[in-house]
Chain A
Amino acid sequence: MTVRWGAALRPAGQAAAALVATLAVAAALLAIGGHSPVEAFSALVRGAFGSWNRFASFTLVQATPLLLTGLAVAIAFKAGVWNIGAEGQLYAGALAGVAVAVSFPGAAGASGLWLLPVALLAAAAAGALWAAVPAAMKTRLGVGEVITTLLMNFVALFLAQYLVQGPLQEARGVFNQTDEIPAAAALPSLLPGSRLHAGFLLGVVLAGAAWLYMTRTPGGFRMRAVGASTRAAEASGRFAAQPVTWLAFLVSGALAGLAGWVQVAGVTGRMYEGLSPGWGYTAIAVALLARLNPAAVVPAAVVFGALSAGGGAMQRDAGVPEAWVRGTEALLILAVLAVDRGLEAARRRRG
């Protein structure tokens, strides 16, 4: 008994050591920068988890776009589609949703109930369309999607820049932003008195659905098979890989597109050119932390949301500058990954 416990605890101990070591490095760096690590870390924790309202209004709100883009990346990667383009698909979705929403400024009340679902569909369709270009280039021409999805990000960013100071600019024609979306297009609040919007719930539901699909359906099996080895999947002769690849691209793009519009409809109320700080890229870290398991994307996104919300509090309450906050966040992400892998190793050795 004692021997077994010891063997099981050793990797867990290593994981704890990795966490402590990373925290020590982060603390040392903060101290070198002249900031109290104790104050900084306690600000981070209080900022992210200080109260239920804080957790819901800040951490979960920050987690929402990462949840949807994280899902997009997890599903694509699982199917062997290296979609680096969630950022661009997010912008495409946000632009499409806003374009629909601001076209019906009078929509309100019961007669405007159709607007939000239509805007959501438009966002998903635009994201999927944005992913369809690299999908076609991969399946028809054999062009690697890593480069095409990445390049499509820049196209989307410049398109957003053009649209918010051109055709989609606010009616006043002054600032580089769209008009405010009508109330009927806004996502309802999830908890009264908090900023948490229905977009988070949508993300959780979609994560559950994606998990069911990937683990419990033939379609999900095919995705995983193609992701594991396209050639082996094709050689089995049971199904063609191309439609599976297409589906992965489109679903991934649609989810990322939703992320963009959900952010506008739930938080900002307008489209700006700087809508995303790079969620589509952070999503890759989220998906990897979740080990491409759609259900696990939810807690992984919450971890990143907590870091984001806590990072703001580090600046406000502990006076740590943005650059140090980002560095600390990156170290904490490394720590979380190290602990995660350490625990996994422990589990494997036990099993």
Chain B
Amino acid sequence: MIRRIGTLGVLSLVLPLASGGCGDEAGGSGEVQSATAVALLTSGPVSDAGWHAGAYEGLQRIGDSLGLRVSHQQTRTPADFDEAFLSYAEAGYGLIFGHGFEYQDAAERAAKQYPDATFVVSSGARYSDNVVPLIFHLNEAAYLAGIAAGSITRAEVLGMVGGVEIPPVRGTFLAFRAGVEVVRPGATVLETFTGSWDDVSAAKEAAAAQLRRGADVLIHNVDAASFGVFQAVREARAAGRGAWAFGMNRDQNDVAPDVIVGSAVIDVPAVFLQVARQWRSGTLAGPLHSGLESGTVDFVPNPLLPGIVPAAAEARIASARQEIADGRLQVPEIRYLEDEEAGDGGSSGGRGRAQPSG
């Protein structure tokens, strides 16, 4: 025991020494003005070229455009969520994003303790005075991607590779399937969930299995593991097969420009910037919806692969986009905001949004 305490003593003595004894000066991170500091938590790496990367870009844009101090932490477990929220709030960060439904509980706990700070939860389920959920209607863009995918499949077999089976992901797949059916009513749409957001080889295996089962167009919703899906499609093409992929969450067209026909995109940076502006002007109130109507969700074709999607399908996509934005066309979705999904077990087809996007 005494030896152990000795080791601990050495550690705690030497670390401050190694830090040059100027922690206060170097810190600058003690108290910051609450109206000038914004923080972001992600549960995955911001190098995923997808869900987390979009959020990180949003944080950077807030810093650049509004001149605010920004900070980011990648959390590992639910235990880290509380620690990160409380630390940021304690340090005076006034606007704190938790980018994923998993942050809901911890955000609510921290919000009670720090009523002056605002906590924003992407895909959040509940809201209060200082807890604001962001609802991304990515399913609307996935529906348009489905029309494009249906128009280019020759095999009439398509595939969807998902990470963890959560409502926002199921919603995009439901809508993609509906989009495919608009142009190819009899097509088969395969669905696989790997159970992981970052297992690239599992995603590649799942994609390869779908390709072996005859699929020639794949879409994904697996975050960082999407590289595996694109690689599987690339290898199928190298082997002489016609196969295409679609990107998701962020504009991934430049991630694999040779195989991606287009991406279903959430313009997270624009949404985050909008949130920060509203927060500064004191008008931020939840929930905040983003869809085709607000222009922060869209299907973006790959400019490097023109002409892949037939002109007739492009026209169809354009008219569907307009109809959805106008509220004339209801895209299937999975609702997860608590007061919106009452009574339907969380899943519903063809219902309008309770609240239009701000």
Residue in B16, B79, B125, B167 whose beta carbon sits within 8 Å of that of A45 in the complex:
B16
A318 nearest in chain B by CB position? B29
User: Are the C-beta atoms of A300 and B4 separated by less than 8 Å?
Assistant: yes
Question: Per-residue 0/1 for A185-222: is the Cβ within 8 Å of any B Cβ (1 yes, 0 no)?
Answer: 00000000001000000000000000000000000000
With a cutoff of 8 Å between Cβ atoms, the chain A residues found around residue B1 in the complex are: 293, 295-296, 299
Residue in B11, B77, B336 whose beta carbon sits within 8 Å of that of A303 in the complex:
B11
User: Are the C-beta atoms of B79 and A61 separated by less than 8 Å?
Assistant: yes
Considering the chains assembled together, what is the distance between the CA atoms of A57 and B89 in angstroms?
14
With a cutoff of 8 Å between Cβ atoms, the chain A residues found around residue B345 in the complex are: 173
User: Are the C-beta atoms of A45 and B15 separated by less than 8 Å?
Assistant: yes
Considering the chains assembled together, what is the distance between the CA atoms of A38 and B80 in angstroms?
24
Question: Per-residue 0/1 for B4-29: is the Cβ within 8 Å of any A Cβ (1 yes, 0 no)?
Answer: 11111011101110111011001101
Residue in B7, B23, B82 whose beta carbon sits within 8 Å of that of A195 in the complex:
B82
Residue in A276, A290, A295, A336 whose beta carbon sits within 8 Å of that of B77 in the complex:
A276
Considering the chains assembled together, what is the distance between the CA atoms of A309 and B83 in angstroms?
8
User: Are the C-beta atoms of A39 and B26 separated by less than 8 Å?
Assistant: yes
Q: Which residues of chain B from 12 to 71 have a CB within 8 Å of any chain A CB?
A: 12, 14-16, 18-20, 22-23, 26-27, 29, 39, 43, 45-46, 71
Is A284 positioned at the interface, with any CB of B under 8 Å from its CB?
no
Is A82 positioned at the interface, with any CB of B under 8 Å from its CB?
no
Is A258 positioned at the interface, with any CB of B under 8 Å from its CB?
no
Is B195 positioned at the interface, with any CB of A under 8 Å from its CB?
yes
Is A106 positioned at the interface, with any CB of B under 8 Å from its CB?
no
Known: A174-B336, A175-B125, A176-B164. A316 touches B71 (CB 8 A): yes
Is B88 positioned at the interface, with any CB of A under 8 Å from its CB?
yes
Complex interface: stretch among A132-140, A233-241, A263-271: A263-271
With a cutoff of 8 Å between Cβ atoms, the chain B residues found around residue A43 in the complex are: 27, 29
User: Are the C-beta atoms of A316 and B87 separated by less than 8 Å?
Assistant: yes
Question: Per-residue 0/1 for A1-45: is the Cβ within 8 Å of any B Cβ (1 yes, 0 no)?
Answer: 000000000000001100110010001000000001111011111
B338 nearest in chain A by CB position? A172
Considering the chains assembled together, what is the distance between the CA atoms of A340 and B23 in angstroms?
26
Task: Tell me the minimal C-beta distance from A319 to chain B in angstroms.
Answer: 7
With a cutoff of 8 Å between Cβ atoms, the chain A residues found around residue B164 in the complex are: 176, 273
User: Are the C-beta atoms of A38 and B26 separated by less than 8 Å?
Assistant: yes
A40 nearest in chain B by CB position? B19
With a cutoff of 8 Å between Cβ atoms, the chain B residues found around residue A175 in the complex are: 101, 125, 166-167, 336
User: Are the C-beta atoms of B18 and A27 separated by less than 8 Å?
Assistant: yes
User: Are the C-beta atoms of A176 and B27 separated by less than 8 Å?
Assistant: no
User: Are the C-beta atoms of A23 and B166 separated by less than 8 Å?
Assistant: no
User: Are the C-beta atoms of A274 and B80 separated by less than 8 Å?
Assistant: no
Q: Which of B4, B14, B195 has the most CB of A within 10 A?
A: B4
Known: A19-B14, A172-B346. A347 touches B3 (CB 8 A): yes
Known: A46-B27, A312-B84. A275 touches B78 (CB 8 A): yes
Is A71 positioned at the interface, with any CB of B under 8 Å from its CB?
no
User: Are the C-beta atoms of A274 and B336 separated by less than 8 Å?
Assistant: no
Known: A276-B77, A317-B71. A312 touches B83 (CB 8 A): yes
With a cutoff of 8 Å between Cβ atoms, the chain A residues found around residue B167 in the complex are: 174-175
Known: A176-B166, A336-B11. A315 touches B125 (CB 8 A): no
Question: Per-residue 0/1 for B82-105: is the Cβ within 8 Å of any A Cβ (1 yes, 0 no)?
Answer: 111011100100000000011001
Q: How large is the interface on A (under 10, 10 to 19, 20 to 34, 35 or more residues)?
A: 35 or more
A58 nearest in chain B by CB position? B83
Considering the chains assembled together, what is the distance between the CA atoms of A23 and B16 in angstroms?
12
Residue in B20, B72, B341 whose beta carbon sits within 8 Å of that of A315 in the complex:
B72
Q: Which of A172, A272, A316, A321 has the most CB of B within 10 A?
A: A316
Considering the chains assembled together, what is the distance between the CA atoms of A49 and B8 in angstroms?
12
Considering the chains assembled together, what is the distance between the CA atoms of A303 and B8 in angstroms?
7
Task: Tell me the minimal C-beta distance from B286 to chain A in angstroms.
Answer: 17
Residue in B3, B22, B105, B125 whose beta carbon sits within 8 Å of that of A344 in the complex:
B3
Residue in B23, B87, B105 whose beta carbon sits within 8 Å of that of A269 in the complex:
B105
User: Are the C-beta atoms of B14 and A23 separated by less than 8 Å?
Assistant: yes
Is B192 positioned at the interface, with any CB of A under 8 Å from its CB?
no
Is A109 positioned at the interface, with any CB of B under 8 Å from its CB?
no
With a cutoff of 8 Å between Cβ atoms, the chain B residues found around residue A315 in the complex are: 71-74
User: Are the C-beta atoms of A45 and B78 separated by less than 8 Å?
Assistant: no
User: Are the C-beta atoms of B27 and A44 separated by less than 8 Å?
Assistant: no
Task: Tell me the minimal C-beta distance from A267 to chain B in angstroms.
Answer: 5
Known: A38-B22, A43-B29, A175-B125. A316 touches B10 (CB 8 A): no
Task: Tell me the minimal C-beta distance from B9 to chain A in angstroms.
Answer: 10
With a cutoff of 8 Å between Cβ atoms, the chain A residues found around residue B195 in the complex are: 158, 161, 273
B15 nearest in chain A by CB position? A45
With a cutoff of 8 Å between Cβ atoms, the chain B residues found around residue A126 in the complex are: none
Question: Per-residue 0/1 for B286-324: is the Cβ within 8 Å of any A Cβ (1 yes, 0 no)?
Answer: 000000000000000000000000000000000000000
Residue in A45, A312, A343 whose beta carbon sits within 8 Å of that of B6 in the complex:
A343
Question: Per-residue 0/1 for A309-346: is the Cβ within 8 Å of any B Cβ (1 yes, 0 no)?
Answer: 10011011111011100000000000010011001100
Is A142 positioned at the interface, with any CB of B under 8 Å from its CB?
no
Is A242 positioned at the interface, with any CB of B under 8 Å from its CB?
no
Residue in B19, B87, B105 whose beta carbon sits within 8 Å of that of A38 in the complex:
B19
Is B165 positioned at the interface, with any CB of A under 8 Å from its CB?
yes
User: Are the C-beta atoms of B77 and A277 separated by less than 8 Å?
Assistant: yes
Considering the chains assembled together, what is the distance between the CA atoms of A311 and B71 in angstroms?
14
Question: Per-residue 0/1 for A36-68: is the Cβ within 8 Å of any B Cβ (1 yes, 0 no)?
Answer: 111101111111010000000110011001000
With a cutoff of 8 Å between Cβ atoms, the chain B residues found around residue A302 in the complex are: 8
User: Are the C-beta atoms of B76 and A343 separated by less than 8 Å?
Assistant: no
User: Are the C-beta atoms of A45 and B23 separated by less than 8 Å?
Assistant: yes
Residue in B3, B14, B22, B79 whose beta carbon sits within 8 Å of that of A62 in the complex:
B79
Known: A173-B346, A175-B125, A315-B74. A299 touches B23 (CB 8 A): no
User: Are the C-beta atoms of A299 and B83 separated by less than 8 Å?
Assistant: no
User: Are the C-beta atoms of A45 and B10 separated by less than 8 Å?
Assistant: no
Interface positions of A (Cβ within 8 A of B): 15-16, 19-20, 23, 27, 36-39, 41-47, 49, 57-58, 61-62, 65, 158, 161, 165, 172-177, 180, 195, 263, 267-270, 272-277, 290, 293, 295-296, 299-300, 302-303, 309, 312-313, 315-319, 321-323, 336, 339-340, 343-344, 347
Additional A-B contacts beyond A42-B20, A302-B8, A343-B10 (12; CB < 8 A): A38-B22, A42-B27, A43-B27, A57-B86, A268-B105, A293-B1, A299-B4, A303-B8, A312-B83, A317-B71, A323-B45, A339-B7
Question: What would 6 A/B residue contacts be, using CB atoms closer than 8 Å?
Answer: A62-B79, A274-B77, A303-B8, A315-B72, A318-B29, A322-B73
